[in-house]
Amino acid sequence: MKAKKDVFVVCVNNSVYPASLEIYKIYLVSAENNNKLENELHIIDESGESYIYPSQWFIPIKLPLQLEKKIIAVYQ
């Protein structure tokens, strides 16, 4: 089975959780994003924990490989 590629998103709405999410911050989506609902994402925060948020609060982005590696290193 092929490993799932890392997915990055940018937060565009934190109105319900302003203390937990930062607007325009890049977040990593959990590789275990196996929600039953397509409108939810498991977002990993700086502590390495994942939390479920509505997917419409985020925009998926493609990052240069070098930047992806640096961001992933923060979560390890």
Rg (CA), the chain: 12
Q: How far apart are CA 31 and CA 2, in angstroms?
A: 12
In sequence order, the 6+-apart residues with CB closer than 8 A to the CB of 52 are 35, 40, 41, 42, 43
The whole-number pLDDT of residue 2 equals: 37
**Fold of the domain built from segment(s) 7-74:** SH3 type barrels. (2.30.30)
The whole-number pLDDT of residue 16 equals: 93
* Model confidence pLDDT, tens digit, residues 10-37: 999 999 999 999 999 999 998 776 656 6
pTM: 0.82
Percent of all residues in the chain with a pLDDT value above 90, rounded to a whole number: 51
Q: Mean pLDDT across the stretch 47-68? A: 92
In sequence order, the 6+-apart residues with CB closer than 8 A to the CB of 43 are 9, 21, 27, 28, 29, 30, 50, 51, 52, 53, 58
The whole-number pLDDT of residue 38 equals: 75
Phi then psi for residue 68, to 5 deg, are: -55, -45
Domain boundaries, the chain: 7-74
